[in-house]
Chains A and B, each alone.
Chain A
Amino acid sequence: NAGVTQTPKFRVLKTGQSMTLLCAQDMNHEYMYWYRQDPGMGLRLIHYSVGEGTTAKGEVPDGYNVSRLKKQNFLLGLESAAPSQTSVYFCASRVPGELFFGEGSRLTVL
């Protein structure tokens, strides 16, 4: 049982490049989230989804797009990466009473 799996785990981008982070969960959860974690700050919500085909903006959505075409997958895209997007990104899925996190994806934008 893999739980929540994120790929890639590490990536270095140049300013202006694009990329997609993939989150996959095998627990059949409806709710999925993308967060970013920066030093000295709590995790901040980027986008979330309450079910297949639905997405919504979180606290810091600018510069990111998401898609939830399949229930088990939640994709986070950066169309034109900026140095301010250097961060560790966490995906999570949820059932009532519990959040399950992936291992994180460390992104560096030069």
Chain B
Amino acid sequence: KNQVEQSPQSLIILEGKNCTLQCNYTVSPFSNLRWYKQDTGRGPVSLTIMTFSENTKSNGRYTATLDADTKQSSLHITASQLSDSASYICVVRGVYGQNFVFGPGTRLSVLP
């Protein structure tokens, strides 16, 4: 069964610190991997999308990495801000079908 796992489940950091969120997936064959940010009470918003051939992609203070061989991705947040407090969701799409496989998310809390 295609699965996406994320760790940690939740994370608390102080403002200004860096953090890294992990995503492991079993979806195969793989098409692309996306990271979404979901603020409390809102819909997910796209941060990055990576295809099989891409190893890293940045979007401001967010940097995603992908190792398609080990089926792992990470999202690194630099110099965290209070507004980074949200859930971060890893989403993987396989080559076949319409479905996107969503991870359960990592809940990040940034404290002043």
Contacts and interface: CB of A to CB of B under 8 A. Distances in A.
Interface of A: 4, 31, 35, 40-45, 48, 50, 56, 58-59, 90, 92, 97-99, 101-104
A99 B92 CA distance: 12
Interface of B: 4, 32, 34, 41-46, 49, 89, 91, 98-105
Contact of B49 (A42, A98, A104): A98
A98 to B, nearest CB: 6
Contacts of A103: 41-43
Contact of A42 (B4, B41, B98): B4
Contacts of B104: 40-42
Contacts, number: 45
Contacts of B98: 31, 48, 50, 56
Nearest to A102: B43
Contacts of B89: 42-43
B46 A43 contact: no
Contact of B46 (A35, A40, A98): A98
A45 B99 contact: yes
A102 B42 CA distance: 8
Nearest to A91: B43
B105 A42 contact: yes
B43 A90 contact: yes
Contacts of B32: 97
B46 A104 contact: no
B99 A99 contact: no
A44 B1 CA distance: 14
